[in-house]
Amino acid sequence: MTNSKPSRSTRSGSEEAGEFENEIRVNMVSLGCPKNLVDSEMILGKLGQEGFVLTPDAGEADVIVVNTCGFVESAKEESVNTILEACKLKQDAETEKKVVVTGCLGQRYGEELSREIPELDAIVGLGEYDDLGNALKGLFGKTDGGLYLQVSDPDKACNAEVGRFRLTPAHYGYLRISEGCDNPCTFCSIPAIRGRFRSKSIEMLEAEARELVESGASEMVLISQDTTSYGVDIDGRFRLAELLRRLAAVDGVEWIRLLYAYPAYLTDEMIDAIAELPEVLNYIDIPLQHISERMLRHMGRRMMEAKTRDLLDRMRARIPGLMLRTTFIVGFPGEDDTEFGILRDFVRDFEFERMGVFPYSKEEGTPSAEFEDELPGELIDERLEELMLIQQEIAFRHNRQRAGEISEVIVDSAEEEREDPLGGAPFRAAIARSYGESPEIDPVVFITAPGAEPCEDEPPAAMPEGVLELSCEPPPPPLPAAGERRTVEIIGGRGYDLLATIAGSGDHERKNVGR
């Protein structure tokens, strides 16, 4: 979540939109997925270039912009609650304050929001961000009291996303390679919100990667609605492997991480690129959603059970130390005990390194919203808990197996006192990630200072009277700062997270591929 600050305008309604007595201070709240975060970075970057002042304090702001998520019911509720909180701040403010909604919820439900939350001042859709600055300026001095609503078809060509106001730590950044989606998943509202699938050009993405490097990023996290379809809309070819090779050649790019890989389009050429390119991490996020043949067909997925299993087996055989992340949906209409049992057995047998489970969310306007055989919420919750307990056992065992592993990590935040994830006493540690942990969604690596080492040479048996005896134990080295890369030794687990110490001279035997 981030905040920015627009400047305050006291212009009258007759003044031109660009004339201000004071700067407008803008605060932004960014909700939802990394794709939304990139939108927020672009919005803030453009507003900053146009002279707006960005502030993290909503109380100080003249305009609060809420970049909403509207993907599932829980995200919609969070977005609406955040909007209402901003409207309460507006009502309580002693000076003129505006509330503006952007993002997926505004794109999909602009008319409804304008009727149900009359305190809003503006709703701006996904395709209108270039004109957001003018919309904000026009809000001050407005005399008619009406709401500004600008929502249009989102199917616009992708532009280069440069000039961003970075909201992630400097050392990593999200690189959105395409927009929209053409897959026919019956449960998903994204095509209706984000439009048809559109890829950026490779040259555009190289330029974005260079700008991210210049701003301090060495890790590129590739995102889109469907990363494996990259390029197919340009010339009919799946070009993700080509893109990976071109990005790996950009000076300063050390890690490339793949998220949102639709399984049906994951080709052997892509598998080879992951396995061969040192910069491309042996980590991939593949949302599978289910494994039962009947459920996959009901969900409108393009890859069925046998081909899914074959793909996963080939990837594990060909990519050393592969870390596989996936997500599943439980409680889809018609999922009976047999279908759930197939999924449960698959999760137990395949042992994914990373896994998330979501309850089915009935989304208005999607085909599945009309399906019969809805499951009761209690049963959905039971199935979700059962899968997560199975995964917890797998994850904890996997952590134990990593003890002794030597791996390169990148530090996300410097040493400070941390809460114990298992409820024990707080401890001091830096937070880092190895190749197996994606930012924000996966567990972390806690780097702790090692215990004092015993002296190799025994001290004299006695010291002369009055002479202070000094310990021959050297002080532990300081833990690394954010953005630094270090080689660590995994020494154990702490729930889903890992514990590590800075490795010694490097003569340890590597247990896994740590790139």
Q: For 125-135, what is the mean pLDDT?
A: 88
Query: In terms of domains, do 437 and 387 share one?
Result: no
Q: Over pLDDT 90: what percentage of the chain?
A: 75
Which of 373, 401, 429 delimits the end of a domain?
Answer: 401
Same structural domain for residues 464 and 318?
Answer: no
- Identify the pLDDT of residue 130: 85
Residues 339, 432 within the same domain: no
Does pLDDT of 508 surpass 50?
no
What mean pLDDT comes out for the span 23-27?
94
Full DSSP string of 66-103: EEE--SSHHHHHHHHHHHHHHHHHHHH-SS--EEEEEH
Residues 194 and 140 in one domain: no
Residue at token pair 């080939």: 314
Q: What is the CATH number of the domain that holds 258?
A: 3.80.30.20
Residue bearing the bigger pLDDT, 515 or 392: 392
At residue 41, the 3 state secondary structure works out as helix
pLDDT reading at 15 higher than 50: no
Contacts of 54 (CB under 8 A, 6+ apart): 3, 4, 5, 6, 25, 26, 27, 28, 44, 47, 48, 165
The pLDDT of 46-56, averaged and rounded, is: 95
Per-residue buried b or exposed e for 327-363, using 16+ beta carbons within 10 Å of the residue's own CB: bbbbbbbebeeebbebbbebbeebebbbbbbbbbbeb
In a domain, 485, yes or no: yes
Range 245-278 burial, b when 16+ CB lie within 10 A, else e: eebbebeebbbbbbbbbbbbbbeeebbebbeebe
Q: Does position 24 have pLDDT exceeding 70, yes or no? A: yes
Parent domain of 494: 406-502
Q: How far apart are CA 123 and CA 109, in angstroms?
A: 10
Q: Which of 167, 163, 175, 62 is nearest to 121 (CA)?
A: 62
Q: State the pLDDT at residue 311.
A: 98
What integer best gives the mean pLDDT of the chain? Answer: 88
Is 313 a domain residue?
A: yes
* pLDDT surpasses 70 at 255: yes
Q: Do 229 and 90 fall into the same domain?
A: no
Give the end of a domain, one of 366, 383, 401: 401
pLDDT tens sequence across 274-292: 999 999 999 999 999 999 9
What digits encode the pLDDT tens for the residues 333-382?
999 999 999 999 999 999 999 999 999 999 999 999 999 999 999 999 99
More confident: 506 or 278: 278
The answer as to whether 513 is a domain residue is no
Query: Which residues share a beta bridge with 502?
Result: 488
Distance CA 44, CA 5 (A): 9
For the beta sheet containing 172-176, the strands, ordered from the edge strand earlier in sequence to the opposite edge, are 172-176, 219-223, 255-258, 280-285, 323-330, 354-359
- Rounded to whole angstroms, how far apart are CA atoms 169 and 167? 7
Is 77 inside any structural domain?
Answer: yes
6 pLDDT exceeds 60?
no
CA atoms within 13 A on the CB side of 109: 20
Number of domains in the chain: 3
Shared domain check, 243 and 264:
yes
pLDDT at 425 over 90: no
Q: Which long-range contacts (CB under 8 A, 24 or more apart) does 79-83 make?
A: 79/31, 79/32, 79/103, 79/105, 80/105, 80/117, 82/29, 82/31, 83/113, 83/117, 83/120
Region of poorest pLDDT, from 110-114, 245-249, 319-323: 110-114
pLDDT at 145: 65
CA distance 17 to 136: 9
Is 164 a member of any domain?
no
Question: What pTM value is reported for the model?
Answer: 0.88
Q: Are 342 and 292 a contacting pair, CB within 8 Å?
A: yes
Model confidence over 298-340: pLDDT tens digits?
Answer: 999 999 999 999 999 999 999 999 999 999 999 999 999 999 9
Secondary-structure percent of the chain, ordered helix, strand, coil, rounded to 5: 35, 20, 45
**Do both 208 and 302 map to the same domain?**
yes
Whether 1 is in a domain gets the answer: no
Provide the CATH number for the domain around residue 81: 3.40.50.12160
Residues 244, 264, single domain; the answer is: yes
One domain, residues 260 and 349: yes
Q: Is residue 315 part of a domain?
A: yes
Residue 376: its pLDDT value, please? 97
pLDDT at position 243: 98
* Same domain for 389 and 240: yes
* Spatial distance between the Cα atoms of 373 and 73, rounded to a whole number of angstroms: 19
- The answer as to whether 182 is a domain residue is yes
Domain boundary among 401, 424, 456: 401
Give the C-alpha separation, 55 to 25, whole Å. Answer: 7
Residue 257: both structure tokens together = 């991480």
- Taking residues 200-220, report their average pLDDT: 97
Mean pLDDT for 155-164 is: 86
Question: Taking the C-alpha atoms of 158, 163, 165 and 166 in order, what is their torsion angle to the nearest 10 degrees?
Answer: 80
The answer to whether residues 211 and 350 belong to one domain is: yes
Q: 298 and 429, same structural domain?
A: no
Residues belonging to the chain: 515
Integer Cα distance of 154 and 195 in angstroms: 6
How deeply is 303 buried, as exposed, middle or buried, from its count of CB atoms within 10 A (0-12, 13-18, 19+)?
middle
pLDDT at 229 over 80: yes
Check whether 218 has a pLDDT greater than 70. yes
